[in-house]
Amino acid sequence: MEQKWIKPPVETRYQEELKALRENDSGLRPENWKLSPKAVRTFILGSQKEIHYSGGVCRIRRKYFGNDALVERSIVTLAGNRGLMLVGEPGTAKTMLSELLSAAISGVSTNTIQGTAGTTEDMIKYSWNYALLLANGPDRRALVPAPLYTGMEKGIITRFEEITRTPAEIQDSLISVLSDKLLNIPELGDEGFLFAAPGFNVIGTANTRDKGVNEMSSALKRRFNFETVQPIREAAMEKQIILNEVESLARENHVEMEPDEDAAELLASTYHELREGVSSLGHRIDRPAAVMSTAEAVSVYYQTMISGYYYGDGTMDVDCLVQNLTGAVSKENKDDLEKVRAYFSTVIRDKSSREGGIWSRYYEARKWLK
How does pLDDT run across 111-137, given as a tens digit for each residue?
999 999 999 999 999 999 999 989 888
Under DSSP, the state recorded for 47 is -
Whether residues 201 and 295 share a domain: the answer is no
Q: Residue 13 domain-assigned?
A: no
Q: Residue 363 domain-assigned?
A: yes
Residue 223's pLDDT is 94
Residue 150's pLDDT is 97
Question: Is the pLDDT confidence value at 289 over 70?
Answer: yes
Provide the total of helices (H) and of strands (E) in the chain, helices listed first: 18, 11
- Closest by CA position to 359, among listed 317, 318, 323: 318
Whether residues 274 and 205 share a domain: the answer is no
pLDDT band at 212 (very low <50, low <70, confident <90, very high): low
Q: Residue 287 domain-assigned?
A: yes
pLDDT band at 25 (very low <50, low <70, confident <90, very high): very high
pLDDT band at 361 (very low <50, low <70, confident <90, very high): very high
Domain boundary among 203, 228, 253: 228
Q: Residue 43 domain-assigned?
A: no
How does pLDDT run across 242-268, given as a tens digit for each residue?
999 999 889 888 899 999 999 999 999
28: how many CB neighbours lie within 10 A of its CB? Answer: 10
- Supply the DSSP string of 157-175, one letter for each residue: EEEEETGGGS-HHHHGGGH
Which letter, b or e, does each residue of 30-59 get, where b requires 16 or more Cβ atoms within 10 Å of its Cβ? eeebbbbbbbbbbbbbbbeeebeeeeeebe
Per 3-state DSSP, the chain is made up of helix, strand and coil in percentages (nearest 5) of 55, 15, 35
Whether residues 353 and 247 share a domain: the answer is yes
Q: What is the CATH number of the domain that holds 110?
A: 3.40.50.300
Number of domains in the chain: 2
Q: Residue 57 domain-assigned?
A: no
Q: Which residues contact 349 (CB under 8 A, 6 or more apart)?
A: 363
Whether residues 223 and 253 share a domain: the answer is no
Query: What three-state secondary structure class fits 4?
Result: coil
Q: Which residues contact 55 (CB under 8 A, 6 or more apart)?
A: 16, 19, 20
Q: Residue 302 domain-assigned?
A: yes
Q: Residue 179 domain-assigned?
A: yes
Whether residues 248 and 206 share a domain: the answer is no
For 100, the domain range is 66-228
How does pLDDT run across 147-177, given as a tens digit for each residue?
999 999 999 999 999 999 999 999 999 999 9
Q: Is the dihedral of CA 230, 231, 236, 237 positive or negative?
A: positive
Residue 73's pLDDT is 97
304 dihedral zone (left: phi>0; alpha: psi -120 to 50; beta): alpha
Average pLDDT in the chain: 92
- Closest by CA position to 246, among listed 317, 324, 302: 302
Whether residues 93 and 207 share a domain: the answer is yes
Domain boundary among 194, 228, 262: 228
Give dist(CA 130, CA 10) in Å, integer: 34
Residue 311's pLDDT is 94
Whether residues 223 and 272 share a domain: the answer is no
Yes or no: say if 296 and 267 are a contact pair by the CB < 8 Å rule: no
- Supply the DSSP string of 264-292, one letter for each residue: HHHHHHHHHHHHHTB-TT--B-PPPSS--
Whether residues 73 and 163 share a domain: the answer is yes
212/62: higher pLDDT? 62
Cα distances (Å, whole numbers) of residue 239 to 92, 133, 144, 267 = 14, 55, 44, 8
Whether residues 70 and 195 share a domain: the answer is yes
Give dist(CA 294, CA 55) in Å, integer: 34
Residue 3's pLDDT is 61
Residue 1's pLDDT is 46
Question: Is the pLDDT confidence value at 22 over 90?
Answer: yes
Determine the average pLDDT of the residues in 72-86. 95
52/66: higher pLDDT? 52
Query: What three-state secondary structure class fits 257?
Result: coil
Residue 10's pLDDT is 95
Whether residues 70 and 200 share a domain: the answer is yes
Question: Is the pLDDT confidence value at 189 over 90?
Answer: no
pLDDT band at 2 (very low <50, low <70, confident <90, very high): low
Whether residues 89 and 222 share a domain: the answer is yes
Whether residues 325 and 195 share a domain: the answer is no
Q: Residue 28 domain-assigned?
A: no
pLDDT band at 215 (very low <50, low <70, confident <90, very high): confident
Domain boundary among 213, 228, 243: 228
Query: Phi and psi of 182, rounded to 5°?
Result: -140, 135
How does pLDDT run across 217-249, given as a tens digit for each residue?
999 999 999 999 998 888 999 999 999 999 988
Give dist(CA 34, CA 97) in Å, integer: 17
With 0.85 as the threshold, say if the pTM is over it: yes
How does pLDDT run across 64-74, given as a tens digit for each residue?
988 999 999 99
Give dist(CA 316, CA 313) in Å, integer: 9
